Structure 1
Amino acid sequence: MPTFRYRAYGLDGGLAEGAIDAASVNAASEMLWSQGLTPFQMRASAEGGTKWWNREITIGGGSQRADLVAFTREFAMLSAADIALDDALRILQTQASSSRLRALVEGLLSEVLNGAPLSDAMQKQVKVFPADYIAVVRAAEAGGTLSEVLTELAELLEHRAEIRSRVQSALIYPTMLVTLSLGALAIIIGGLIPSIAPVFGQSGKPMPGTIKFMLGLRDHWAQVVGGMAVVAIGSWASVAVAMRRNDARVELDRLKLKLPVIGAFLLQQEAARFARTLGTMLKAGVPLIQATKSASSVISNCYVASALSRAIEAVHQGSALHRALRNEAVLPAIALQMISVGEEAGKLDRMLMRVATMLERQTQSSIDRFMAALAPALTVAIAVMVGALIMPVMNAVLSINDLAGR
């Protein structure tokens, strides 16, 4: 998702500057408005965020996500015990499990002691607290339901972490299979083939083409790796240039949803994330339009995000949510039907949480089925590939033995 640099006025008239990730300029502006900021300058960041040498070494922002989950769960328990806000932050600072979390709480405590609301203190740490999180906390502060809302947020974040963990766990076995197969290929090409190649020269028998190819690959591996690197870098650069255009990103993400099996999985995942975030925000008392704007900001697929933006605009003009979503036809049909029932019954927040639970279960079932089929398919493919390399070698060795026997 692209990064935009912005300058905006806060509620107190102060100037705020920073960076925000969003699907488009309009989506970035809406996210800033939902945070209580009035943007007056917005431009795409050419750097794509923080310099790599200033970033913490993590895999997909895992440390920040873990800090956010830990902070929210512990803070929710302290708030539910009717502990004052500053005292709760002091307790969290004392028992922080990592230096990152301690620094995070120290920053929040300093702002709160200076008189800032908790949501404003969080807004100054946008790398940890996403826009939808801040919007929910701001609404909870206004409604006096901070402890209940923090509990809802903790459950939301833990659901997201659980899904990520399941996907990562499911990928462990296929990754090991691919790694081991590459190791086997390296042993065959680097060790076995060169050891038997001289036998053909001594026997006068012509060397098989497969063995010649593997020897050439071994002798010119640097050129092969260099050529592959050039092609990879060129492809990456071409894609990066194309992805600077919003229409190219939208089209690419649209094509992703058309992929067999994977497309349905991606749509279920995005719809579940949207439904759970929107349901959580509505339970926190956030108005529908603001909640849908913030919930759409968690969507990573640009095609789905742009369709949701159009649906939100229709809601802003007076259309019902289920009708606006149905006109865009980006969410699964059963989700649209359940949202329609919930909206007509006045229980939209509860129905959205049920939709999210249902889609998350379907997502997990899809992952389980896909991984159940992938592991045997990879095993067979690797066996065929290794066998295709070993058979010419064995045939050549057997033919040499026959020749020597004669």
Structure 2
Amino acid sequence: MPTFRYRAYGHDGRFAEGTVDATSLDAANEALWSQGLSPFQMHSADQSGTRWWNREIVLGGGGARRGDLLAFTREFAMLNAAEIPLDDALRILQEQASSSRLRELVEGLLSEILNGMPLSDAMQKQSAVFPADYIAVVRAGETGGTLADVFVELAELLESRAEIRARVQSALIYPCMLVVLSLGTLAIIVGGLIPSIAPIFGQSGKPMPTSIQFMLALQERWIEIAASSAIVLSALLGAVSVATRNPEVRQQLDRLKLRLPVVGAFLLQQEAARFARTLGTMLKAGVPLIQAAKSACSVIGNRHIAAGMDRVIEAVHQGTALHRALRAEAVLPAIALQMISVGEEAGKLDRMLTRVAVMLERQTQSNIDRFMSALTPALTVGIALMVGALIMPVMNAVLSINDMVGR
């Protein structure tokens, strides 16, 4: 039977971590809920959950599930704001679903709702789409009677993340096109132009330039070079994969990432924005601070920051103010810590966290825009230099041949 590793919290807010044997991921979630635990991270212990293709789905999921969750949340928020009854809203969504996956998702929820099950429990049965922290927010909204407001907050949260992903992907299109075109240019030069020029040197008796000899050897032995490169790359990836299965190694690597000159500040802003927006959303929904902080911690991808947040949660559980615990760990930017301190002292922590998230997201997007603006001309100049370095030996060879013929 497969073994799943989980992180969860109990009804008293205490943190729990361990493994559970179950036939599937859904069965493992059900087993923890029956024990009074609310899981917010779950992955297979046999297949490292830290690999990118097996990462747990947290507030947005990945791929098609992330799109389904965003579409459902956005449309359901509008219907709830219009004060349409829950079952009627689900029927409308089922009829207007933009994809068969979304239609099946809504159909399953509607079936459970008509059988008398609360919406949060119905979502729990589809935990592959609805992560535990999402369900916790919905359950808090049901308890406090603020379900419409909760879905508005969740829709804004998911849409802001989707917008950032879309802008990054759009910004990467042109640099990727430049790289592809440069590779095509290199293939034409090495595979077509150089072989056509090489016989001229043999016929004239003039020694062939070293650069052209090198490119000819590259063209003749490209299969061996490609195979050797693939073997070396596979070995490196295998070594990295084995090393990163160790949580301590992953944490150290994530710590080193934060110390990189430009990338480190960007990663810190991104992780802080995710944490602040998720925590602010959950607090607005009425989720207790400890429980909300544990769920918000699950959206953090950097292990070093997540370890610091775990210590922050433990300190808050012992009675320390959130801003003091965060300041002791220094896992957030200084301006974010100051804003959180003001919000906590004024009793408006949820609003201030949302403002912190908006500020950090804007800074992140501004940094991305500046980086992409600098990346495009840098790639253009670099590719021009690389192609020029290959073309110059060819031009020198052609000129030397012309001089020889002229004599």
| TM-score, normalised via structure 2 length | 0.88
SS in 1 for 2:300: coil
1:255 to partner: Cα distance: 0.8
Question: Cα deviations across residues 120-177 of structure 1 (Å, max 9, x unaligned)?
Answer: 2212222221222111001111111111110111011101111111111111111111
Q: Distance in 2 between matches of 1:358 and 1:209?
A: 56
Equivalence for 1:240: 241
Equivalence for 2:47: 47
1:232 to partner: Cα distance: 1.2
1:36 to partner: Cα distance: 5.3
1:10 to partner: Cα distance: 11
Q: Distance in 2 between matches of 1:62 and 1:355?
A: 27
Equivalence for 1:368: 369
Q: Distance in 1 between matches of 2:301 and 2:104?
A: 29
Distance 1:6 1:342, change over 3 A: closer
Q: Which AA in structure 2 matches 1:209?
A: T
Equivalence for 2:172: 171
Equivalence for 1:186: 187
1:86 to partner: Cα distance: 1.8
Distance 1:301 1:108, change over 3 A: same
Equivalence for 2:56: none
Q: Distance in 2 between matches of 1:247 and 1:160?
A: 29
Residue 75 of structure 1 pairs with residue 38 of structure 2: no
Q: Which AA in structure 2 matches 1:83?
A: I
1:219 to partner: Cα distance: 1.1
Stretch moving more, 89-98 or 77-86: 77-86
8 Å Cα contact 1:35-1:134 kept in structure 2: no
Question: Cα deviations across residues 270-303 of structure 1 (Å, max 9, x unaligned)?
Answer: 1011111111111111100000000110111111
Unpaired segments of 5 or more residues in structure 1? 21-27, 53-59
Equivalence for 1:147: 148
Q: Distance in 1 between matches of 2:166 and 2:237?
A: 28
Q: Distance in 1 between matches of 2:176 and 2:309?
A: 35
Matched ranges for 1:7-406 at <5 A: 18-19=24-25, 37=37, 44-48=44-48, 61-406=62-407
SS in 1 for 2:130: coil
| TM-score, normalised via structure 1 length | 0.88
Q: Distance in 2 between matches of 1:255 and 1:354?
A: 29
Equivalence for 1:55: none
Q: Distance in 2 between matches of 1:197 and 1:220?
A: 16
Unpaired segments of 5 or more residues in structure 2? 12-20, 54-60
Q: Which AA in structure 1 matches 2:121?
A: D
8 Å Cα contact 1:34-1:290 kept in structure 2: no
SS in 1 for 2:386: helix
Q: Distance in 2 between matches of 1:318 and 1:133?
A: 26
1:34 to partner: Cα distance: 13
1:345 to partner: Cα distance: 0.6
8 Å Cα contact 1:6-1:19 kept in structure 2: no
Q: Distance in 1 between matches of 2:8 and 2:175?
A: 47
Question: Cα deviations across residues 336-359 of structure 1 (Å, max 9, x unaligned)?
Answer: 010001001111011101101110
Higher normalized contact order (CA 8 Å, seq sep 6+, divided by chain length): 1
Distance 1:121 1:297, change over 3 A: same
Q: Which AA in structure 1 matches 2:163?
A: E
SS in 2 for 1:171: helix
Q: Distance in 2 between matches of 1:363 and 1:9?
A: 31
Equivalence for 1:57: none
8 Å Cα contact 2:9-2:291 kept in structure 1: no
Distance 1:35 1:102, change over 3 A: farther
Distance 1:92 1:36, change over 3 A: farther
Q: Which AA in structure 1 matches 2:383?
A: I
